[in-house]
Structure 1
Amino acid sequence: MAPISLQSTYKLVSGYEIPVVGFGVYQTPSDVTEKVTRKAIELGYRHVDSAKAYRNEKESAAAIRGSGLDRSKIFYTSKVPSKCMGYEKAKKAIEESIAAADLGYIDLMLIHAPYGGKEDRLGTWRALVEAQKAGHVRSLGVSNFAIQHLEELEEYIKSGAGGQITVGQYEIHPWCPREDIAEWLQKRNVIVEAYSPLVQATRMKEPVLQNLAKKHGKTEAQILIRWSLQKGYVPLPKSVTESRILENSQVFDFTLSDEDMASLKLNTYEPVCWDPVRDCKI
């Protein structure tokens, strides 16, 4: 892959640019979110991934506003929560997220999960398209959608509903690769984002990971982030520890070989988070 850095971007099908690594704030307490997000921005991150369900949108956005950088330099994401599916509920949730952020616009809004059934999923998308047309949201996407949900939405969009799926966000790492979904998305030039790319630190003692860390003089976390980057994904590592926030950004000075990547091709499906991809049957 061509040389990249923390400020490198990919082009979304909406025409906007998304930085290749994001700073995640899932489960980050609201009372420390602004501080750690501000530190991440100081260290070079230009992409912040929040959600209404995280209850830290306001604090995440405050860090962006207080960074001293021009608004256009930082990419901010939020999400419509599962409990707000359906046109009316989603419209209200989107308005609340826009107000909480107070950034002028939200770069990316995702449907957080496919729960609620077809009518609610498509109604939620309709609310997102309206927000985009009004200039409040720039790009749209989904999270945790199975292929049947993606195809359902694709058909709806083709029928004239408007909008484009620009991003698909999933728990992705060597122990939960979701290659079928990633292939579906990438064939359509949809950016794949990987949340929990560090497997919530549950796999750091795996021999395959430790061997690669030793080989490259890197940490296990850096190996996992690099794996994600070389797959063409946008990893969203999170931490509240300054040294690890920095460490997670130092992944651009080495390359995993084809053999290294092959060693991380594991015959397993073991997510560490919730799994709407499998659990949502309707």
Structure 2
Amino acid sequence: MTVPTTKLNDGREIPQLGFGVFQVDPDTTADKVQAALDVGYRHIDTAQMYGNEEGVGKALASSGIPRDQLWITTKLDNDGHGRGTAAERLDQSLTRLGLDHVDLYLIHWPRPAEDRYVETWQGFEDARDAGKARSIGVSNFQVPHLERLAKETSTVPAVNQVEFHPQLVQRELREYHQQHDIATEAWSPIGQGKGLLEAPELAELAGRTGKSPAQVVLRWHIQLGNIVFPKSNNPDRMKENFEILDFTLSDDDLAKIEQLHTGERIGPDPDTFG
């Protein structure tokens, strides 16, 4: 099954469907990532904050998959802001991952109260120019944060990874991304099991398509153009999450799912977190 890709503003192609390791136990990460690679995933999303980059690296090293067939993302920990520190932390990540570069390096949170994300972004530009991060982006940035980067630096982020699911559809942010050619990555794409998948609308679509509610939501993301990396510790669920490329939702279906929007966040408020 061929995973669709999205072309980033730097010209590189990123797989739309990947495997995330948020809250995966460091002691079991290598096994979980290997199971995901066996299913067919080639895009792995980790972070310094997760504490499991080393496990990801072990799985990559033992997989035998050529490096140019993999897309590896990591993110800067919140205590690593600053131009020089951001680059140093990437070097540490590369050591843990056993790689000479990552495909995508993200500022994990803007931490606006600290007010260092602009200089941190300059460190990301340095890492890209040194070849240690092929693409650079941000995570959990709001429109004002993106506007400031646009005014004070020379690089538009390739992606912005944000909380995004049918109950939080990020309309203003999506519009900004479209206007400025920033790809949208969705974390918690199926709502972290907090009731979203029990919605009657999703049950109806699942019954009609012969898919699960989770598969319907992940397909909605793909058709919107989002990049998603659902996490699961269960190999059967990993396989189910991967099997979303053999059906299509109609425009009416997409609109029905978007009507589930409530505006409520599962995670922290980016304007105050950190």
Match of 1:270? 264
1:177-192 aligned at under 5 Å gives the runs 177-192=169-184
Q: Aligned partners of 2:272, 2:205: CA distance in 1, in Å?
A: 33
Map residues 94-113 of structure 1 onto 2, 5 A cutoff. 94-113=90-109
Alignment match, 1:170 = 162
Q: Which moved more, 1:186-195 or 1:106-115?
A: 186-195
1:241 is aligned with what amino acid?
N
Amino acid in the other structure paired with 1:268: T
Determine if the alignment matches structure 1 residue 238 to structure 2 residue 248: no
Equivalent position of 1:195 in the other structure: 187
CA distance in 2, matches of 1:265, 1:19: 23
Could you tell me the TM-score, scaled by structure 2's length? 0.94
**Residue 155 in 1 paired to residue 151 in 2?**
yes
Aligned AA (2:207): K
Distance 1:55 1:148 in 2: 30
Letter in 2 for 1:236: F
Q: Percent identity?
A: 36
* Matches for 1:45-194 after TM superposition, within 5 Å: 45-117=41-113, 119-158=115-154, 163-194=155-186
Aligned residues: 272
Pair 210,155 (structure 1): closer, same or farther in 2 beyond 3 Å: same
Q: Is the 8 A contact 1:6 1:45 kept in 2?
A: no
**2:204, 2:112 → 1: CA distance?**
43
C-alpha contact (below 8 Å) 1:43/1:246 kept by paired residues: yes
Measure, in 2, the Cα distance between the counterparts of 1:237 and 1:150. 25
Moved more, 115-124 or 77-86: 115-124
Structure 1: where are the runs of 5+ without partners?
Answer: none
Q: Is the 8 A contact 1:104 1:136 kept in 2?
A: yes
Query: Which residue identity does 2:248 align to in structure 1?
Result: T
Indicate if the aligned counterparts of 2:53 and 2:97 stay in contact, CA closer than 8 A: yes
SS of the residue 2:75 aligns to? strand
1:256 equivalent in alignment to 2:249: yes
Q: CA RMSD of the aligned region, Å?
A: 1.6
Which one-letter code corresponds to 2:218 in the other structure? Answer: I
Check the 8 A contact 1:35/1:63 in 2, yes or no.
yes
- Structure 2 residue 219 is the aligned partner of structure 1 residue 226: yes
Shift of 1:38: 0.9
Amino acid in the other structure paired with 1:150:
L
2:18 and 2:43 in contact (8 A); partners too: yes
Q: Is the 8 A contact 1:65 1:103 kept in 2?
A: no
* Structure 2: segments with no counterpart, 5+ residues: none
Structure 1 counterpart of 2:188, one-letter code? S
